[in-house]
A and B are shown apart, each in its own frame.
Chain A
Amino acid sequence: MGAAQQFCTFFVKHEFFGVPVQQVQEVIRYQEMTRVPLVPATIRGLINLRGQIVMAVDLRRRLGLEDRPESELPLNVVVLTADGAVSFLVDEIGDVLEVEEKDFEPPPATVPGQLRDLVRGVYKLHDRLMLVLDTEQAVNSDQFETQKVH
C-alpha cells in the first residue's frame, strides 16, 4: 500500500487526466475572468480567488484541442505550482482515485508531441488510462518566448 497515491482526476475533451491530490488546492466552478492582453491564448485570464489572483490556463488550448462550445462552462482545478497557484480550465471533474505504483508507465512513444510534453506518464486503471499531467509544463507555455520576441 505504500506505493499507493491519490489523484484528483478530470476530463479535457476525451482525455482523462490526473494530478496528485497534494498539488490540488481546490476545485471550483466557472469564475468570471479578466483577460490579459498580449499573452498566449492558452492563458484565458485572471480569477479572483478570495483575494488571491490566479492565472487560468485553458487545457484545451494548451493541448491544441478546439475550444469547448460557448454553452459549456469550464471548471477550475486550482493547482499549486512553484510560482503560486494556477487554475486549469477543464471540462469535467472525475473522482479522486487511488492508484498503485505498479500500474505506472512512461508515456508511450506514439503519444502526439504536444500531449507528450505535458504528460509525465500513464496509470493503467482497470477500465481506462489516466494521464498524469505535468503541471509545471502545462503552465509554462513555450509560446511565451516567441510572444516576447514579437
Chain B
Amino acid sequence: MSDDAEIIKEFLVESYENLDRLDHDLVALEKDPANRETLASIFRTIHTIKGTSGFLAFNQLEAVTHVGENLLARLRDGLLQLTPEITTALLAMVDAVRQMLTKIESTGHEGERNDRELIDRLTQLLEAKPEVGNPSPAAQAGQDTHLSPSPVPEANVGNLPLSNPPPVEPRQTDESLPEKAAVKSQEAAEGLNPQQPARGQSASDSTIRVDVAQLDRLMNGMSELVLLRNQIVQYSNSTEDSELQGTSQRLNLLTTELQEGVMKTRMQPIGNIWSKFPRTVRDVALGCGKQVRIEMEGKETELDKTIIEAIKDPLTHLVRNAVDHGIEPPEVRRAAGKHPEGLLFLRAFHEGGQVNIEITDDGAGLDFEKIRNKAVQKALVTADQAARMTEREITNLVWLPGFSTAEKVTNVSGRGVGMDVVKTNIEKIGGTVDVQSRPGHGSTVRMKIPLTLAIIPALIVTTAGDRYAIPQVSLLELVRLEGEQARKGIELVSGAPVYRLRGNLLPLVYLNRELKVEAETEVEAGTKAKAHTKDAALRAADSSDNLSVNIVILRADDRQFGLVVDEINDTEEIVVKPLNKLLKSINIYAGATIMGDGQVALILDVMGLAQRSSVVAEVRDRAVTEKDAQGSDSDGGQRRNPVLLFQYGESGRMAVDLAVVARLEEFSRDTVEVASDQEVVQYRGHIMPLIRVSDVLKGECAQAASSQESLQVLVYSDQGRSVGLVVDRILDIVEEAYIMQPQKGRKGVLGSAVIQKRVTDILDVPGLIAAADGVEILAGMET
C-alpha cells in the first residue's frame, strides 16, 4: 500500500513540474505556432501524465489528458492550426489537470468531477475543419478513452516526412511497461537516444530529487560548522603550534568550499518563478483586452530557495500590476504612436553580491497628477504639500499603505494587496525596491535582493568593548583618520560632526553615543564625562596625541553616513540568528550571530541606525511631508537663493535664506528692556521680543557677546508679528549655488552646505523660534 502512496507522490511531484512547463510552453507556442520542438515537448508532457494516470487508475484524469493529447497530436502532425481558441482550451485542460492533482494530493482520490464540457470542447476542436482532410486514427481515438491513445506515426509519415518527431516511438514501448518506472525510463531512454534532438532537458538523467527539509538540515549543520571553523581558526591564531595552524588553515578552506557547495544546493534559478509569468501575463492581458508580450533576460540568475519563495508573490503582483495598470489598451497605444502590443521586460542580474531584478513596461508610466490627487483625497498629504512635491516624491507615494490608483476594482488589482505589501515583503528579506517612471514611456520597478539570508558577509567592529556586525551590503568604504587628520578632518556643523568625503559632507554618527554605551578608551571617556556638547568632545579628542578615528561609511536608503567606531576588526562570514522579537522591536538590531570565541555579537540594522540618528527620516511615509514642511528640496538639490551669512557666538558661521529675513536692524544696548524675563525692544510702535541665536544653538550656557555696544538683529515677521534674532556679526550676503544636506535633530538648523568654500549651517528660523520657546513669545504678543 505504501508503495502505491510512494508512486503517487512521485507522480504528483513530477506532474506539477511538467505542468509548470506546460503553461510556459503553450504560451510560447501561441507566439510561434510552427515550433515543433515546443509542440513535441507539450505532447510528451501530456502523454506522460496520461500514461501514468491510466496506470494508477485515475480515470477522469486519463480521460481529460487523453483528448488533450489527441488534439496535440493533430497539431503536431500539422493537421490542425493552433488558434487562440485551442490554446485557451488546452490551458483550461492544464488547469483541470492541476485541480485533479491537487485533489489527489490531499485526498488520494480524484474526487467527483464533471469534465464533460471540457472534454467536449476539446473534442469539438479536434473535429473542427481538419485542414489536411485526412483524419488520423487519433481523431477517432478521441471518442474512446480505452483505445490505445497514441497516434500511429506511420499514418502521417507520408505527410510530414522529416519533421515528424521520433519521440513517439520510445513512448509506445513505455506504455507497455507495467511499473511506474515507465516515466523515468522513458526520460532516460530519451536522454540516451542519440537521434533525440537536444531539447534542453538533458539534466534529467544526472539529477536527483531531494527533500527541502533535508537541505535545510544540511544548511543548519553547515552554519554550525562555519561557527566552529571560526572558533578553531581564532584559537589556532593565538597559538604557536604550526601543525595546528596548518590544519586549521585547511579546515578553513575546506569549510568555505563546502559552504559554497551547500549554498548552491539551495540555489534556484529565478526562471523557476518567471516561467509562470507568460501565462499570468496572457490571462491578465486577455482579461483586460490588452496585448502584451513578455521578454526575459537572466532567467538563470540564481537565488536561495527561501528568497525565491519570498519574492514570488511580490513579483507576481508587480507583473500583474504592470499589465493591468502600466500597459495601455491597443487602441490607446496606437494613438500614441506605439506598437499595439505592449512589452513587459523582466531582467535579473548579479551586482555587488546582490541580485537585481527589474520589471519594465513600455506603458503609460505613472500618472503624477492622478497620484497627487489620490494622495490628497486619501489625506496622505495636504493639497499644499502635494502641489509642491517633485515627481520623485510623488513616485514614492505609491509605496504608502492604502494607496491604489486603480479606479475600479478588477479581479487583477485592488484586492488589498498593494504596493506597500510588496515593499514590506521585499524589505523583510533585506532587499530594496524602487520605481522609476517616465510619463508616456513606461515604468521600471527595480529590486535588489540578497543572495541568501542564512550566512552573510559582515564587517566586525568594536565599540566600547563590544563587537558588532555590520552587513557588508550596506558597507561602502572604510576611512581611517590618524594624527593630524583625525584632529582636523572632522568638522562641526553647529555641533554635528561631519567629514568631507571627496568634497561632499558626510554626516557622522558615533556608534557609542547612538547605543548609549560607555566608551572604554580614554579619549571617548573624556568625551562622555567632561562635556555634553560635541564641540567639547572634539576638543577632548584634540588633547589626545595618539588619536585615530575609524569611520565606516554606510548606505541607508540613498543616503550615506559615516559610523565612527573604536575599532574595525575584520570581515567575516556570519550566520544570522534570529533575535527575540522584543529586541527586534527597537529596530536597531537585525539579528545576532555567534563569534569565533563563542560569544554573541549583535548585527546592526543599518537602516534602523540611520533612522535613529536622523540620517534618514524616521518613518518613511512621513518623510515626504516633513521634508516638505521644511520647505526644503528633499533631494538636497541645488539652490540658488541669496543668503545672508552671519556669525553667532565666537566662531559659529551660519546662513539664512534672505527671503526669510524682513529687515536688518541695529539696536543700541540701552534700548533693550526686559519684560517677563524676555529681552524686548520697542520697534515701530510694537514690542518686539529678541532671541539670541547663539544662546539657542549652543545651549543656555553661552553668554552672549554682550560687551558690544549695539546688537545686530535680523527681523523676522510672521502674520504681522515680529521677532528679532540677535546675531553677533553680519558677515556677508552671497548669491551662490549650494547643495544643502538636510540635517535633523538639531533645533533651528535646516542642514548644512558648503558656502564660500566653508561648511555653513543653514538657519531654520521657525525652528529656532520654537526652540527658544518663541512660540509663546509670538502668542504673547498677540494679546
Contacts and interface: CB of A to CB of B under 8 A. Distances in A.
B589 A36 contact: yes
Nearest to A55: B580
Interface in B513-545: 515-517
B466 interface: yes
Interface string A113-150: 00000000000000000000000000111001001100
B594 A53 contact: yes
B602 A39 contact: no
Interface in B546-583: 577-583
Interface in A46-105: 46-48, 51-53, 55, 83-84, 86
A35 interface: yes
B516 A37 contact: yes
B224 A51 contact: yes
A8 interface: no
A51 B227 contact: yes
Contacts of B578: 53, 84
Interface string B576-603: 0111111101101100101000111110
Contacts of B602: 34, 36, 46
B566 to A, nearest CB: 14
A37 to B, nearest CB: 4
Contacts of B517: 35, 37
B580 A37 contact: no
A55 B583 contact: yes
B580 A84 contact: yes
Nearest to B581: A83
* Chain B interface, >50% SS class: mixed
B467 to A, nearest CB: 8
Contacts of B600: 33-34, 45-48, 53
Contacts of A147: 586
Given A39-B583, A53-B594, A144-B582, A34 B601 contact: yes
B510 to A, nearest CB: 13
B564 to A, nearest CB: 15
Contacts of B585: 144, 148
A148 to B, nearest CB: 6
Nearest to B515: A37
**Candidate in B517, B581, B582, B594 with the most chain A CB atoms within 10 angstroms:** B582
Given A48-B594, A51-B227, A53-B577, A36 B599 contact: no
A34 B515 CA distance: 14
Contacts of A141: 582
Contacts of B589: 36
Given A34-B466, A35-B466, A37-B517, A48 B598 contact: yes
B592 A38 contact: no
Interface in B669-719: none
A50 B445 CA distance: 42
A46 B592 contact: yes
A30 to B, nearest CB: 14
B517 to A, nearest CB: 5
A86 B580 contact: yes
Contacts of B598: 48
A86 B580 CA distance: 8
B592 A53 contact: yes
B261 to A, nearest CB: 21
A140 B582 contact: yes
A24 B589 CA distance: 27
Contacts of B223: 51
Contacts of A39: 582-583, 586
A83 B588 contact: no
**Candidate in A37, A48, A51 with the most chain B CB atoms within 10 angstroms:** A37
A83 B579 CA distance: 9
A46 B578 CA distance: 12
Contacts of A51: 223-224, 227, 577, 594
A147 B583 CA distance: 11
Contacts of B580: 55, 83-84, 86, 139
20 contacts: A35-B466, A36-B589, A37-B466, A38-B586, A39-B582, A39-B583, A39-B586, A43-B583, A46-B592, A46-B602, A47-B600, A51-B224, A53-B577, A53-B594, A53-B600, A84-B578, A139-B580, A140-B582, A144-B582, A148-B585
Interface of A: 32-39, 43, 45-48, 51-53, 55, 83-84, 86, 139-141, 144, 147-148
Interface of B: 223-224, 227, 466, 515-517, 577-583, 585-586, 588-589, 592, 594, 598-602
- The 10 A-B pairs at the shortest CB distance, nearest first, are namely A37-B515, A34-B600, A46-B600, A55-B580, A53-B577, A53-B592, A37-B517, A48-B600, A48-B594, A83-B581
Given A43-B583, A147-B586, 8 more contacts: A34-B599, A36-B602, A38-B515, A39-B582, A48-B598, A51-B594, A52-B577, A84-B578
